[in-house]
Copies of this chain bind each other. A is one copy, B any other.
Amino acid sequence: MHTTINIREIARRAGVSTATVSRALNNTGPVREKTRQRILAIAQELDYRPNPMARSLTTKQTNTIGLILPELVDEFFMDIIHTIDEEVYHTNRFLMVASSHSQRNVVETLLDFMGSGRVDGVILMAPQVNIEVAKLVRRSKRPVVLLNSKNNQQQTVSFSINNFQGAFSITEHLIKHGYQRIAMIQGPDGNCDAEERFRGFSEALAKHKLPLHSSLIVTGQFNEESGYYAFNRLMSQNLQPDAVFAANDMMAIGVYKAAQQLSVRIPQDVAVVGFDNIYASQLLNPRLTTVHVPIDELGMKAIRYLLRMISREIDPAQSYHEAISTGLIIGGSCGCQDLSR
């Protein structure tokens, strides 16, 4: 088994110095055309591939992007990975993916990624970013782009879904249907997506002078199971809702399951709407009315911005925030004539 071929070997065979080989291969500095050709030919023939570690050691560039997600489940996160991979691939870089296995660990993962120079930059999705993490991000030598974090973090770069606007619109949509007792199944405490969605909900109620019944507000965990239990709880009390806004589609699916068991008809007895527009939401019967989250756009903007920070085309110290608009997807679950089936 032949030993790994390195730049010295190429240089030796071409009868030049390693410096020249380096210049020829990287198009950095002048090399006589003839020499260039010779070097390239030899490198080609030997299938030479520069050792990325050695290169990184000198250049301090890894050509690697880090992506930290809260969890590695759901098509939602898959879409993020997909979009970012696409962009990373086209710029000849690599993608490291990690999930923040616990809140404590966002910090560790971040440190491992950045502190030691394993990546050139990080995209961090952390709907529950705490102060410690925020501090870390601000101090980081490598650029970091935040996704769906509290947008009041100063001195950071972040992109997020306009949760407020989405929640506000869909709530107004329910109000225009004439529903009077609109319940909300909130997302988990401390999750800023959840908070913003709740804010959109309550401000829409306020605008239309509808009361906010505390008994109609329950908290879920953004998963199917909690939606299921939440709906059961809502229907078992005196004040029953005529419409339910689940803070995400997974919980809405739980609502559908519970409704079926309780023989509650959607939307005749209770209207249901969600948030995210996941693939499964279109399979529900009736199709779920929900808020479309342009996840591709989110990922795309984040990675493009990060790459420009890395190339210093944008000053990494400059803070920036952008909220991406959502859109309403009308199904039959809100009481509208469902056009999709």
A interface with B by C-beta (< 8 Å): 1, 4, 47, 49-54, 56-57, 62, 64, 71-75, 77-79, 81-82, 85-86, 89, 94-99, 101, 111-112, 115-118, 141, 253, 260, 279-280, 283-285, 341
Contact = CB atoms under 8 A, between A and B. Distances in A.
Contact of A82 (B52, B56, B73, B341): B73
Given A49-B111, A283-B283, 8 more contacts: A64-B96, A73-B79, A75-B75, A85-B99, A86-B101, A89-B101, A94-B96, A95-B96
19 contacts: A1-B141, A47-B115, A49-B111, A51-B57, A51-B117, A52-B118, A53-B56, A53-B57, A72-B78, A72-B85, A75-B78, A81-B81, A85-B97, A86-B101, A89-B99, A94-B98, A96-B96, A280-B280, A280-B283
Contacts of A77: 78
Contacts of A57: 51, 53-54, 57
A233 to B, nearest CB: 22
Contacts of A260: 341
Contacts of A56: 53
A292 to B, nearest CB: 18
Nearest to A50: B116
Contacts of A81: 72, 78, 81, 97
B78 A283 contact: no
